[in-house]
Structure 1
Amino acid sequence: MTNQEIRQLAVWLKETHLAGAEIRRPGLHLVLKRNVDAVAAHVQITEPEPLQASDEQLLKTPGLGRVLLTHPHQSEVLVSVGSRVEQGQLVALLQVGDLLLPVRSHKTGRLAAVLTVCGTTVGFGEAIMRLDAA
């Protein structure tokens, strides 16, 4: 597990207000705990780096789940490559169990590329689409 992955876990803990996480795999046992007084981890956790200019064109996931480019009860895609996207427009859904969370565009532009296959499991902040200037 890399330091960047551990940092991302810490950010998820903070954002979801969870008290801790424990990961066990062969050769790895990681315990992260959030506490007002201290963080019980053997790693110094820092804030993620600010978005770079090229990242402004990327539409990213608001959480963990499966990316859906269509509603489960409809066959039409929510937005297609080449179409104009308005700020706040629904561009995808994030399925977490039975829950469907909206993924909305943070700016106006033209959809240049879909970077994730429908049904793919993604992590928090993962780029799923790229916008070009309108």
Structure 2
Amino acid sequence: MKFKNIAVGFAVGVTGGMLVSFLNAPKSGTELQQSLKNESGNFKSQMNQLKVEADEVKSSFLKTKHESQEVFNSLGDEIKTMINNFQADINPNIENIQGHIENVSNRGEEISKDVDNIINRKKR
């Protein structure tokens, strides 16, 4: 019994709500349908435009990613080349300085021996 009462109340409420909404509608049924179709078409075109723009952004991002990878690869190669050139330029100078250091060290040893010889002569 209770379910029957609830079902009848629900049916009456839905019917009444529909009747009130039809009587208070600002447009007739055909006008409302046409309006909904137009809005649906506008919505579809906006969604298609949004999809096209999203594809353009994706394409632009992928292009930028590819170009930046190329730039970083070439930049890395250039840096390696610069380092190799720098090392090639500086190695002769390093060898030259090492040679001077050896000469100074040998000269210091000679002077030390000469001083020792002079001291030993004076002691005799």
Q: TM-score, normalised by structure 2?
A: 0.15
Q: TM-score, normalised by structure 1?
A: 0.14
Quick check: which has more Rg, 1 or 2? 2
| Structure in which a larger fraction of residues adopt helix | 2
| Structure in which a larger fraction of residues adopt strand | 1
The higher relative CO (CA closer than 8 Å, separation ≥ 6) is in 1
